[in-house]
Amino acid sequence: MTLRRTDCLLLAALALAAAAPPARAQSAGPVQAGATARAAGALTPALPAAPIDYTQESAEDKARRMAWFNHDRFGMFIHWGLYAVPAGAWGDRTDYGEWIMEQARIPVSEYEKFADQFNPTKFDADAWARMAKDAGMKYIVLTSKHHEGFALWPTKQSDWSIERTPFGRDPVAELAAACRRHGLRFAFYHSIMDWYHPAWETRRAWNDVATGSTNMEEYIPFMKAQLKELVENYGPLGIMWFDGEWESPWTHERGVDLYNYVRSLQPDILINNRVGKGRAGMSGMDQGQGVGDFGTPEQEVPGTGFAPGVYWESCMTMGDTWGYNATEDNWKSSRQLIHHLIDAASKGGNYLLNVGPTAEGLFPQESIDRLADIGRWMKVNSEAIYGTTASPIATPAWGRITQKRDRLYLHVFDAPADGQLVLPLQANVRRAYLLADRRQAVTTAQTPAGLTVTLPASLPDADATVIALETRGAVTALD
C-alpha cells in the first residue's frame, strides 16, 4: 500500500510524540515575574541535602550498630611501622618503642632512612590472621598510620608510605584479604597527630625536612583524603580507631566533623572516643564533652563496669611497648592476659591485645606463645566470653563472673580454702557443671546468705576454671 506524503508526515509526528519522555509537572513554587508559558514544565534545581549529624543517633540505632562489638569481646591490636627497624634502640638507649622518633628526637632526615631498611619479606598475612583467630580473637585493628606519619599502604596523598620502601607489596591489602578469608573483621588505628607532615600545627623542632608554615586547614583535608582511601579501598571496616587527639591543634569541633565525615563514608563503622577531646587520660572514658562510640582505657581494665549503653574496650600490650622492641623482657604472663580478658568481659567491656611485629614481618616468639596459651583457654571457655554481659554483683575475691540470658559463668582464679563460693544472689539453678568437663556436675544450694557453689576437689585449669550455672527465671542480687 502506498502512503501519501501527508500521511507519512503525520505518522512521523506521532512516533516522535510517543518516544518523547512525559512532561514533568510544574514546580509548586512561585513563578518568577514575567515568566511565560515557555517556563511550564521546567524543573526547579533541588537543594543539596543537609549533611547527617551522626552524633544525634538514637540509643537503639547505636545499640544495633554496636551489636557485633558487644558480642565479640576480644580483638588483636597490631602496631607496625618504621619504628620496627630500630627495634627500640637509638644512641645509648634500648628501651624505645613506637615513640622513638619523638622520645629520641631523631631528625626526620635521619628517620626517613628507616624506610630504605623496611623490607618485611617474611610477612605472611594468613599466618597473622590465623594466630588471631586461633587465640579466639574476632577482629584485628592495624596501625595504618602512627604518629610518625608513615602510611603503611600506598597512599596517593604523599610519598611517605610503603611505596618508599623496597618491599614492593601492599601489606594492608594482604591483611584485609586474609581477615576476610579467616572470618575476622578488619579495622584501622589512625593517628590524628602527625610528626612528619609539615602542616601539622605543633611541628617538632627536629622535623628538618618540613618547609612552609603549619596550617591545620591544609592538614585536615590531607588526613580526610587518606581516610577515604582506607575506607573505600580496604573496607568495609569494623572500626576506625583514632589516637593522638590530645595536642592543642585538635578541638572538639574538629572531632565532631571528623566523626561525621568517616561515618558518611561508611555509616555503620564504629569510631572510638579519641576522635574527640573528652578522654580522661589513660582511664580512657569521656569526661564532659566527648564524641565517639566507645571508651578506650589504656593498659588497664576499669575497676567497675558502667551503665548499660556505655561501650568500652581496654587496649593493652603484652610487654612494655606497643611497637617492636628487640630487648623486651618484661612480658605479662599468659595467666595475666587471660585474667585481663575475663576481667574486661565481666565488666561489660572488650579487650584489645597488642602485638608489635618485627621489621621482617614476624610476630615475636613471646607473643606467639601467649596467643597460643590464650587460644587453648578460649577453645574450652569462649562461650563464657562471647556475647556475655557484666556480672550481676561486685567483683568477688576468688575470680570474676560473666552472664548470658539464662546462664552464669563463674571464672575461678583462686579457689577459696574451704572450696565454697558464696554469691549474694537469688537464682534457680537447674544445672551446674565445668566447661572443661560438662559431665562433672557441681553442687549448688540456695541459702539465706545467697547461692553457695561447692567446687570439685580439683580444678582442671590453674589459670581460670569456668563453672556454668544454667538458670531458670530471674537472677536477683541480694542486698
Interval 294-319 mean pLDDT: 96
- Judged against a pLDDT cut of 50, whether residue 31 lies above it is answered with no
- The average pLDDT across 266-274 equals 98
Average pLDDT over residues 238-250: 98
pLDDT for residue 26: 35
φ/ψ of residue 445, rounded to 5: -150, 135
Confidence of residue 30 (pLDDT cuts 50, 70, 90): very low
171: cis peptide before it, omega within 30°?
Answer: no
pLDDT digits (tens, 9 = 90+) for 105-140: 999 999 999 999 999 999 999 999 999 999 999 999
Q: What is the pLDDT of residue 18?
A: 39
Which pLDDT band, with edges at 50, 70 and 90, does 7 fall under?
A: very low
Which of 25-34, 43-52, 238-247, 343-352 has the least mean pLDDT? 25-34
Rounded to whole angstroms, how far apart are CA atoms 160 and 151?
6
Is the predicted pLDDT of residue 42 greater than 80, yes or no?
no
* Alpha carbons 321 and 357: distance in angstroms, whole number: 11
pLDDT at position 479 is: 76
Which pLDDT score is estimated for 105? 98
pLDDT attached to residue 421: 97
Kindly report, residue by residue over 364-374, the tens digit of the pLDDT.
999 999 999 99
> Strand, helix or coil at 279?
strand
Q: What is the pLDDT of residues 70-101, one digit of tens each?
A: 999 999 999 999 999 999 999 999 999 999 99
Q: What is the pLDDT of residues 412-453, one digit of tens each?
A: 999 999 999 999 999 999 999 999 999 998 999 999 999 999
Instruction: Report the pLDDT value the prediction gives residue 43, as an integer from 0 to 100.
Output: 64
For residue 387, the model assigns a pLDDT of 98
Answer positive or negative: Cα dihedral of 123, 127, 131, 132.
positive
Closest CA to 271 of 81, 56, 66: 66
Question: How high does pLDDT run on average in the chain?
Answer: 92
**Range 278-292 average pLDDT:** 93
Which pLDDT score, from 0 to 100, does residue 6 have? 40
Task: Give backbone dihedrals phi and psi of 304, rounded to 5 degrees, phi first.
Answer: -135, 170
The neighbour count for residue 441, using CB atoms within 10 Å, is 12
- Provide long-range contacts, Cβ within 8 A and 24+ apart, for 275-280: 275/192, 275/240, 275/242, 275/245, 276/245, 276/252, 277/245, 277/246, 277/250, 277/251, 277/252, 278/252, 279/245, 279/246
The lowest-confidence range among 41-45, 201-205, 338-342 is 41-45
* CB within 8 Å of 467: residues ≥ 6 apart: 409, 410, 412, 432, 433, 434, 435, 442, 453, 455
